[in-house]
């Protein structure tokens, strides 16, 4: 049954994505805010279609969703963690690995919306680029989304928080908004295998700027991991 649900959703997801991508192509020649609006509509569709296959998505902590310049640090368990943020962040800019930038339409729209495209193999150079371009995005008032662990993690895997988020926190001097989730319970880490139930994304109390690196990383990991663990079984 879950295999059938997954197959149906793949078809719906693909049709929705292709339709939005092609119909909205002229947006690539317009201002940045048009791309943000397109991603918002597309993200809402991606999330909304899940209800047709028995997966509901609930957003909690709405009072903590930033509307101006901020760092957003979500737990990363599946692809939906990327798509869902488009639904509620008004001017999001993602940190995107260079391989994704080559995907037709998705990469084009991402770069138009302000995504920072990095080569994860060039550690020091990528870090300098993150800081430089992060400052540019904040001048626009963007919400810069970076996954602290860098890649998707299986539920139950030991936390593996990378130094990139700490460097941005120090250099950009803005609050960080942690986001907890249980998405990996209902959407597989690899591919698009679905299990019915409730996916929760919860924006947590922001971490103010100015903390020492070790203290910041401790608080960030503690908040995200504690709440994500508490959400399991929803």
Q: Among the listed ranges 80-89, 99-108, 223-232, which one has the minimum average pLDDT value?
A: 99-108
Percent of the chain with pLDDT over 90: 50
Q: What is the pLDDT of residue 207?
A: 97
Give the mean pLDDT of 94-123.
79
Q: What is the pLDDT of residue 2?
A: 77
β-pair type (143-145, 92-97): parallel
CA distances from 228 to 58, 113, 178, 200, 209 (A): 14, 29, 11, 9, 23
Does residue 1 carry a pLDDT above 80? no
Does residue 122 carry a pLDDT above 70? no
Q: What is the pLDDT of residue 215?
A: 96
| Distance separating alpha carbons of residues 2 and 116, to the nearest angstrom | 35
Residue 121: band (very low, low, confident or very high) from pLDDT cuts 50, 70, 90: low
The larger pLDDT score, comparing residue 40 to residue 105, is at 40
Q: Which residues of 150-181 are buried (b: 16+ CB within 10 A; e: fewer)?
A: bebbeeeeeeebbebbbbbbeebebbbbbbbb
Q: What is the pLDDT of residue 95?
A: 80
Report the CATH number at residue 33. Answer: 3.40.1130
Domain carrying residue 49: 2-231
Record the tokens describing residue 152, joined without a space. 């998707």
Q: What is the pLDDT of residue 130?
A: 82
Give the mean pLDDT of 51-67.
94
Percent of the chain with pLDDT over 70: 97
The number of distinct structural domains making up the chain is: 1
Does residue 58 carry a pLDDT above 90? yes
CA distances from 83 to 156, 188, 189, 207, 228 (A): 22, 14, 14, 24, 18
Give the mean pLDDT of 55-81.
94
Q: What is the pLDDT of residue 175?
A: 92
The 10s digit of each residue's pLDDT in 201-229 is: 999 999 999 999 999 999 999 999 999 99
Q: What is the pLDDT of residue 123?
A: 66
């Amino acid at each position: 049954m879950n295999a059938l649900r997954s197959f149906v959703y793949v078809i719906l997801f693909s049709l929705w994505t292709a339709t939005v991508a092609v119909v909205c192509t002229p947006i690539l020649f317009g201002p940045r805010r048009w791309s943000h609006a397109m991603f918002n509509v597309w993200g809402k569709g991606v999330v909304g279609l899940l209800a047709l296959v028995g997966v509901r998505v609930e957003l909690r902590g709405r009072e903590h969703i930033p509307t101006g310049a901020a760092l957003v640090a979500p737990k990363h368990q599946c692809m939906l963690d990327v798509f869902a943020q488009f639904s509620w962040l008004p001017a999001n800019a993602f940190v995107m690995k260079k391989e994704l930038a080559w995907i037709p339409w998705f990469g084009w729209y991402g770069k138009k919306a302000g995504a920072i495209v990095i080569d994860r193999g060039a550690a020091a150079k990528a870090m300098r680029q993150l800081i430089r371009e992060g400052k540019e995005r904040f001048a626009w008032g963007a919400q810069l989304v970076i996954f602290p662990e860098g890649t998707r993690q299986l539920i139950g895997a030991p936390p593996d928080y990378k130094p990139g988020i700490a460097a941005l926190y120090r250099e950009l001097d803005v609050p960080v908004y942690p986001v907890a989730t249980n998405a990996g319970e209902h959407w597989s880490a690899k591919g698009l295998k679905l299990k019915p139930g409730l996916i929760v994304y919860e924006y947590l109390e922001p971490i103010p700027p100015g903390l020492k690196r070790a203290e910041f990383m401790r608080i960030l990991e503690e908040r995200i991991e504690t709440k994500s663990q508490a959400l399991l079984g929803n």
